[in-house]
Amino acid sequence: MLLISDYPIIIDVVFSVSSIGGHFLKFFPFKFIMPDIHIDHPSALLTFFVLTVGGMFFSYLFHKLKLPEMIGLLGIGFVLGPTGLNIFDLEAINNIHVISDIALGLMTFTVGTHINYKSLHNSWKRILNLAIFDITVTYFIVFTLLTLFSGLGLTTRLLVSSLAISTSPGTILHLIHGKRARGMLVKTLLGVVALNNVGAIIIFEVCKKIGAGLEVGSGSITVVQPLLAVALAIGIGFLTGLLLNVITRHVHREADLLAITFLVIIFNILFSTGIGGISPLLVNLATGIVIGNLSYHNKRIVRIFDGLNVILFTVFFTMAGTHLHLDRMTAAGVAGGIFIFGRIFGKIIGSYLGGKMTKSSAKIVKNLGMALIPQGGLAVGLVISLEYNEIFKAGGNESIAAIVSTIVLAAVTFNEIIGPITTGKAFDNTGETNQDNPRLVNFLHEEYVMVPLEAKDKWDAIEKMCNFMVKTHHLKHITREELTHVVIKREKECSTGLGSGIALPHARITSKESLMGVIGILKEPIDFESLDGQKVSVIILVATPEDQIDQHLKVCQTVATIFTRDTTFFENLIKCEDAAEVYDLLQSEQVRDQNYFLTS
């Protein structure tokens, strides 16, 4: 296992180079080697245009160089900002801070949409416990180390520790797509990252409330008021999410979905700001959770925002770079090193302990912590939200916002470099790299497994399996009753009990739906009128679109081969106590060989 703590020189080099850079800028400012190109009182439109063009160019350049694109955005932002070439001063940057508000709203809304019950219903206990251990252990370790060795004030320690929790969902998704990874670790990782970032936002907002109280002189720490504010923000977000779901239920044009959702996000920001004391981040987070779980258009809404996000997030992270002050690195070096080491150590130890407590597979216990190291967008966004808070930016270069941003932005740079390496290594260690191509039977996954299935007879079993299929899939053109009717009608024509304890009920459904399947492991075997007279312990329900006859035959044949070919496999299957065990068994090389890729 790769531990950054094994290579302390890396941390020393990062902050030493940063410190040298700070001293260089102090004694050899850019104006001695470059003409004065500062723009006095630029319009907000000009500032936005230059930051966007510069950010997109450097993002493209870093992508071609196979370097983290966020580093390019932060870098060009630093160069254009007050401590670089000083093309734009802070006043010019502040004139377009509304872009930050919108980008943060979109970011937290998107984080919320990834909390999807249909994907997590079978694994939510494992993922929730892993996320809780990750959050609490990481926060505790970073806060303790900062308290013992950094000399930072209490408010600063609270905020910095909360920012250590977040993991970059964008970087994780990019790596999963790039490595074409799929499997138990990937599924668990995505769930933990989603809950991790929800926890990071909530804890950051609570720490921000507590810190604000300390800084204005209340002199006491209370979590009751911050927690009430969090609950109110989440409640408002759920209400607007329900409203958005109702409004968009019969909206199908992508342009309309984009416009309506975008306006709701902006409304959340305006409403929260108008009330005062309510976090727009939490409101949009809750709205995203509602849409991710209730809306038929959840995946479409996230997808259609991609184009808009390119511009908004480009200028947002470029703006973040303008807040980077290398000349503060000397003072922040110790705290920054502690932040990096403590965060990585916390992720690895938290995931290990959480994995052991939840009795997760060895691949999760050993590799999840390594996969959680990337840190980017959300942490940067939360840092920037401090820069526009009057309480935390008081004091100029020595303000809490300035210290926090210096530590976290430098650490994000480091984590975005080392994180992809450790995450990629985790995928390789578990054998999940290059497993994401579509397979013939594409429903052999944890969320489509019911353990145990309790049924009194075959008809009860079929009805429960149909209900489970509706629960785990977004059916738009067929109701639960229609699906059950079609499956029962086919079963009455001829029993689908294959023998050897396996049944394969199936149905042809409207071509507007996609191929679907679910697996049930019976607690007590039932009679299924099988050809060999044996009772059935495993039921695989398959529903195939009417226009995919060849696909239907191939899937049914492959499923029958996978589940009946090996008696040892079947015996191990019916002994599984939960869906995770079934999924692990279905990831064996033997099953993979039979369940071949549709494309290479």
Within 444-555, strands assigned E span 449-453, 497-499, 502-503, 506-509, 516-526, 536-545
pLDDT at site 121: 75
With contact defined as beta carbons under 8 Å apart, do 114 and 378 qualify?
Answer: no
CATH 3.40.50.280 fits 446-594, yes or no: no
Residue in the block written with tokens 């006095």: 40
Burial track 194-208 (b if 16+ CB lie within 10 A, e otherwise): bbbbbbbbbbbbbbb
Pick the CATH number of 4-429 from 1.10.1740.10, 3.65.10.10, 1.20.1530.20, 1.25.40.10: 1.20.1530.20
Residue extents of the structural domains in the chain: 4-429, 446-594
With contact defined as beta carbons under 8 Å apart, do 279 and 287 qualify?
Answer: no
What pairs with residue 522 in β-bridges? 453
Quote the Cα angle for 7-159-129, to 5°: 75
Residue in the block written with tokens 């001695």: 32
pTM greater than the 0.85 cutoff = no
Q: Tell me how far apart the alpha carbons of residues 434 and 178 are, in angstroms, rounded to a whole number.
A: 9
What pairs with residue 540 in β-bridges? 519
With contact defined as beta carbons under 8 Å apart, do 574 and 538 qualify?
Answer: yes
pLDDT at site 240: 95
Residue in the block written with tokens 């959680």: 372
- Determine what percent of the chain falls in helix, strand and coil, rounding each to the nearest 5: 70, 5, 25
Per-residue pLDDT of the chain (600 residues; tens, 9 = 90+): 444 334 344 444 444 444 434 444 444 444 444 455 778 888 888 988 998 899 999 888 988 888 878 788 888 888 888 877 888 887 888 888 788 888 888 888 888 887 888 777 778 888 899 999 999 999 999 999 999 998 888 999 999 999 999 988 777 877 887 788 888 888 889 889 888 888 998 899 889 888 888 887 755 566 777 788 888 999 999 999 999 999 988 888 888 888 999 999 999 999 988 887 788 888 998 999 999 888 878 878 878 887 777 788 888 888 888 877 666 655 567 888 899 999 999 999 999 999 999 888 888 999 999 999 988 778 888 888 887 788 887 766 578 888 888 888 888 888 888 888 899 999 999 888 877 666 656 677 788 889 888 888 999 999 999 999 888 887 777 888 888 998 999 888 888 888 888 898 988 888 777 888 888 999 889 998 888 888 999 999 988 888 887 877 887 888 888 887 778 888 888 888 888 888 888 877 666 666 554 443
Residue in the block written with tokens 């910095």: 160
Distances (CA, A) of 117 to 112, 249, 294, 402, 489: 12, 19, 10, 39, 30
pLDDT at site 323: 73
- Tell me, what DSSP letter sits at residue 305? T
pLDDT at site 380: 84
Q: Tell me how far apart the alpha carbons of residues 320 and 318 are, in angstroms, rounded to a whole number.
A: 5
Three-state DSSP class for 63?
helix
Residue in the block written with tokens 């999963």: 176
Do 4-429 and 446-594 share a fold?
A: no
pLDDT at site 164: 94
Three-state DSSP class for 565?
coil
With contact defined as beta carbons under 8 Å apart, do 284 and 234 qualify?
Answer: no
pLDDT at site 9: 42
pLDDT at site 325: 67
